Structure formats: C-alpha cells, structure tokens
Amino acid sequence: MNRYAVNKVQELGYTLFELVDTQGNGIAMITPDFGANLLSYTYKEIPVIVPPNSLQDFIEQASAHTKYGTPILFPPNRILKGTFTFGGRHYRLPLNEPPHHHLHGEISHKAWNVVDAGASDEKGAYVSCQFDFAEHPEIIAYFPHPLLFTVTHHMFEGRLTTQLTVENKGGDMAPFALGLHPYFATPSAGDGCYLTVPAAEEWPVSNLAFVQALPAETAFCESLSQGISLAAYPELGCSLLTLNGDRTCRFEMKEAGYSIAYQIDPKFPFVVLFKPDWTDAFSVEPYTYVTDAFNLPYPPELTGARGIEPQEVIHLSTAIWLEKL
C-alpha cells in the first residue's frame, strides 16, 4: 500500500483535492475553485488548519473565503480608499470593504486552474494550481499587469509545505505585495495555548492594522519570544511584527502535549497576529510588506514596498509540522 495519495472529491458540483498521508494519518483539503485554499489540515487526528462548518457555508457566507483555511492574499490586508501610487502610476482598486477600503485582493475568491497533481512514496502528495491575471480582464482593468501565480501544496514526511511563485509576464514593473492568512486550530478562547514568535520589532497599528508610526522593540516582542497565552489576546485584536531569527513560530498546546510549528520564508519579513471571533483559531499571517505600505511615508526597505520586474519570478514558501512537547 502506498503511503501517499491524491483524491478528487466531488461536492456541491465542485472538485476538491485531498492530500493523504496514510502513515501519519494526515489529510489536507484544497479548493481550487475558491482561491486554491488549503481549506483544512489534520495530522494524527490533530486539527491544524480550521475549516468552515461546511463547504456550503464557505460558498454562501459573506467574506467566508478569507475567514477559514489558508487564503492567499494579493495584496494582503487593507489599502486605504483602495488607492496608491507606484512607479509613477496611480492605482484604484475596488472598495470591497465598503465604504473606505480594499481588503485582501481578489485571488482568494476566484477559481484557480489545477496544472499538476500526484503522489508517490518518494515525493509525497501534492497539487499545483495557477491563477493568471491575463485571463481576468476585470482585474487587468485596474491592475494592468499580467502576473502569473502558482501555488503548490505538498505533504511529505510530516510536513505540509506551501510553495508560491509569482511571475511578471508583462513589460512593466508591477507593485508586489503577497500574504497568507492561515487559521490555526487553537483551543476555545486559547486556554492552555501559548504562542512564540521571533519578533524583532512591533509596528503601532490601528484596529484595522493600518500603520500609525515607525516600529520599535517592545515588551510585547520580548514576551512573544518566551510565549504568550492566547487566552489573554483580545478577540479581533491584531499585531504587526517584523521577524528575525529562523522565522519559526509555534503554538504550544501544553495540556495536550504538542505544538504546531509554522516556518516562514525570509521573503516574508512581516507577520500579522489576529484572533478571529467567529471560530476557535488564531492567525499568524506572513506578509511581504506592512499594511498599505505603498501609501506610507517610510523607506521601502523598511516597509517591504517593492515591485516585481518584467519577467521576474519570486519564490516564497511556508511549512507546517507538529512537534511533541
């Protein structure tokens, strides 16, 4: 019997891809029709990524595509009034968080194309999906750059990796800002769960995660290095941090005797911490830039505001695994 498998699951007229590790009792569900979202993940019967109550809820609930699983965000978080200027060009994005903001982009809501999938004992189980701006005139109308996104969710030897590439297939430099929004399974109200994050500095932010001042070393950064209780973190609270070190964050379930480790690529210099009030989860969101960086009066090397050159390809990745305490 093979250790790994990829199964196609039909539900409500949609095709979902299930990655299976029979030895580790690992199951990951991917939804190409809804943002290539890593919608759920369990390993050794331990919930790791929180799904919606049902696929029907995920389809029908307002904004549900960014409230469960692992949404892919371009650009991540909010853009004030949906406008910014980059490279001498003015951009006006849809106000999808009316009346004032653009929130999380559109690629988490739209269908991606499955371009590859497979499983073997030597390589594990994986599925690769692509999203091409050139195929979406409604996006090109306000963001005139044919970017090609590829995401591969890959299960192998106890690790679930998400590998992302973004290629600029156009002739102009495009603004670049990418993020992920994983919802990690935590106990109700965070009881017995402690989070460690290798935080170098904290950015003062509003309750909508807009930057209000330059970052600094804070007592909160120091406490994150030792571990904070999620029970004490406010619902709908958010924190914006610059990372250092090996960029591995951990949720330690001290009563249950395990931790969830989340390793973040150095090309994601920042994370947002966020505690939703609609599900028992906590988000550690890797970002390539701080919220609304193109509108900030600070140096781009500090905020992560950058472009992607014509024909440039940017590679990023994250990895999740469980550890015994």
Predicted pLDDT of residue 189: 79
pLDDT the model gives residue 246: 87
pLDDT > 90? residue 7: yes
CA separation for the pair 244, 269 (Å, rounded): 8
Residue 188 has pLDDT above 90, yes or no: no
pLDDT at residue 222, rounded to an integer: 97
Residue pLDDT, tens place only, 243-274: 998 899 999 999 999 999 999 999 999 999 99
This prediction has a pTM of 0.97
Question: Residue 23: which pLDDT band, with cuts at 50, 70 and 90?
Answer: very high
**SS3 annotation, 81-131:** CCEEEECCEEEECCCCECCCEEECECCCCCCCEEEEEEEECCCEEEEEEEE
For 211-225, write each residue's pLDDT tens digit.
Answer: 999 999 999 999 999
For tokens 């990745």, name the residue: 317
Split at pLDDT 50, 70, 90, the class of 192 is very high
What span, in angstroms and rounded, lies between the C-alpha atoms of 210 and 295? Answer: 10
